């Protein structure tokens, strides 16, 4: 098959989607398929086919893009969030039209924005499969609450910004022949919120190539290492993690927390850590290439997201033998066997998060048992071969 993987967002980029997409592409290539990848450049300067590494740069297209936005969205100056999204969306569309889509057997969108654009321009005979890695409307709702804290929930839900994204997501699902989700929670959201026929929505977990070697050593009788890995954005619950750690620190100081990743919330997170007097306990490492080495030094992974479907940080942590403490948001509870290989706490509840952290810091034997259980769970559930096999089956189903 000749397959096109497409992403509205930049690739390569720090985060789980790049790991999944690159692993998927390499495995499909090894099986004899032709696989192209189209995405935004990491510096946001334009879109490109990765194997060609050229494309129409955003700045050269900006006059044409703004002409269309002024004509189609005359209100855009009062809605900078929509304006920015439309600039990138039209940059995506115009660039991809230059490459053409006629030669592909299957197009696999990695997000609903890419799917919405592709659906409006692809030849009718080429099936579109969409991986819904998260709920765009639920994520944008939380983002808008953080950007406009003075607005009521009703004002946000009826506002133009929210409904712009809701329309994109609805159109993406309509245009897709099949929709892949990695959690039962996400499948339910699509079917309920957007009234999508359940036959179109196929659920199976993501998988990655496991780079961890050996089994974790027992790490008793030394300072403990807590790890958060992921984009440092408001949605990841960093605020509640730091608040919980500030209370843990009052009772014991034999630990440190490594926050690995970049994001637009990083300055605010650093300021909060300083205000909570956590500078000696919390280190912000930025994006790191050597996550295997960092995870090998860890004792505990923490993922307190406000909204998350299947973060790869939890998968990688489980392969490394780290028990995970996760929130009960969205698809996260499906990743954990509560009490066996990790703990689940209420979303946005710093006190419950504190209690869970202290419970595992205080019990080395329990924590190590959970780590071994995490490895077994990961090797059973998160394999790349299983994901690729199910993805190929979905492509073949879409072609019939």
Provide the pLDDT for residue 216.
52
Chain centroid to Cα 271, Å, comes to 25
User: Do residues 7 and 47 make contact, with C-beta atoms less than 8 angstroms apart?
Assistant: no
The Cβ of residue 393 has, within 10 Å, a number of other Cβ atoms equal to 12
* Residue 295 to residue 317: CA distance in whole angstroms: 7
- 8 located within any domain: yes
Please count the CA atoms within 13 angstroms of the CA of 393 that sit on its side-chain side: 10
The SS3 assignment for 10 reads strand
Structure tokens at 7: 């992403």
Provide the pLDDT for residue 220.
58
Distances (CA, A) of 176 to 80, 107, 190, 197: 28, 10, 12, 11
- 308 located within any domain: yes
Provide the pLDDT for residue 213.
58
- 215 located within any domain: no
Residues 394 and 373 in one domain: no
Residues 158 and 193 in one domain: yes
Domain that holds residue 106: 2-208+384-399
State whether the Cα torsion 367-369-371-373 is positive or negative: negative
State whether the Cα torsion 385-391-394-400 is positive or negative: negative
* Residue 197 to residue 191: CA distance in whole angstroms: 6
Nearest residue to 21 via CA among 108, 102, 124:
108
What are residue 79's DSSP bridge partners?
Answer: none
Residues 113 and 252 in one domain: no
* Residue 327 to residue 237: CA distance in whole angstroms: 9
Per-residue pLDDT of 69-95, as tens digits, reads: 999 988 888 899 999 999 999 999 999
Provide the pLDDT for residue 192.
96
Domain with residue 197: its CATH number is: 3.40.50.2000
pTM given for the model:
0.90
The structural domain count of the chain equals 2
Residues 191 and 236 in one domain: no
Residues 392 and 259 in one domain: no
Q: What strands, in cross-sheet order, belong to the sheet with 2-10?
A: 47-49, 34-40, 2-10, 106-109, 128-131, 178-181, 201-203
Residues 67 and 181 in one domain: yes
- 216 located within any domain: no
- 214 located within any domain: no
Residues 249 and 127 in one domain: no
Structure tokens at 359: 């419970």
Tokens 């985060």 belong to residue = 15
Residues 189 and 228 in one domain: no
Residues 104 and 155 in one domain: yes
- 217 located within any domain: no
Nearest residue to 298 via CA among 308, 311, 288, 309:
288
* Residue 280 to residue 215: CA distance in whole angstroms: 30
Residues 173 and 232 in one domain: no
State whether the Cα torsion 206-385-113-53 is positive or negative: positive
- 213 located within any domain: no
- 363 located within any domain: yes
User: Do residues 50 and 38 make contact, with C-beta atoms less than 8 angstroms apart?
Assistant: yes
Can you list the residues of the chain whose pLDDT is less than 70? Answer: 14-15, 53, 212-221
Residues 23 and 122 in one domain: yes
Provide the pLDDT for residue 209.
87
Residues 36 and 156 in one domain: yes
């Amino acid at each position: 098959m000749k397959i096109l993987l497409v992403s509205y967002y930049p690739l390569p980029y720090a985060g789980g989607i790049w790991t999944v997409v690159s692993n998927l592409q390499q495995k499909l290539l090894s099986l004899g398929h032709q696989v192209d990848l189209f995405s935004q450049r990491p510096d946001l300067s334009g879109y490109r086919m990765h194997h060609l590494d050229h494309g129409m740069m955003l700045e050269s297209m900006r006059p044409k893009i703004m002409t269309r936005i002024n004509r189609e969205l005359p209100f855009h100056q009062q809605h900078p969030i929509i304006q920015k999204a439309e600039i990138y969306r039209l940059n995506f569309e115009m660039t991809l039209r230059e490459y053409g889509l006629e030669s592909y057997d299957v197009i696999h969108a990695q997000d609903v924005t890419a799917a919405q654009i592709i659906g409006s321009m692809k030849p009718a005979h080429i099936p579109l499969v969409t991986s819904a890695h998260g709920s765009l409307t639920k994520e944008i709702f939380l983002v808008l609450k953080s950007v406009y804290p003075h607005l009521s929930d009703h004002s946000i839900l009826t506002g133009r910004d929210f409904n712009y994204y809701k329309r994109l997501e609805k159109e993406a699902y309509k245009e897709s022949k099949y929709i892949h989700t990695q959690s039962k929670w996400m499948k339910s959201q699509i079917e309920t919120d957007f009234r999508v026929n359940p036959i179109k929505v196929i659920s199976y977990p993501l998988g990655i190539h496991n780079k961890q070697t050996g089994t974790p050593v027992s790490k008793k009788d030394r300072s403990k290492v807590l790890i958060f890995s992921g984009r440092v954005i408001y949605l990841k619950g960093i605020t509640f993690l730091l608040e919980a750690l500030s209370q843990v620190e009052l009772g014991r100081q034999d630990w440190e927390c490594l926050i690995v990743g970049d994001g637009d919330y990083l300055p605010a997170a650093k300021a909060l850590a300083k205000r909570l007097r956590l500078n000696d306990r919390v280190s912000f490492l930025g994006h790191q290439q050597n996550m295997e080495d960092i995870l090998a030094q860890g004792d505990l992974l923490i993922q307190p997201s406000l909204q998350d479907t299947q973060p790869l940080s939890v998968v990688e942590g489980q392969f490394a033998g780290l028990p995970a403490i996760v929130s009960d948001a969205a698809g996260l509870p499906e990743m954990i066997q509560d009490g066996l290989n990790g703990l689940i706490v209420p979303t946005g509840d710093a006190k419950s998060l504190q209690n869970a952290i202290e419970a595992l810091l205080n019990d080395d034997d329990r924590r190590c048992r959970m780590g071994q259980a995490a490895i077994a769970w990961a090797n059973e559930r998160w394999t790349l071969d299983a994901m690729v096999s199910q993805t190929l089956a979905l492509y073949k189903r879409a072609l019939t």
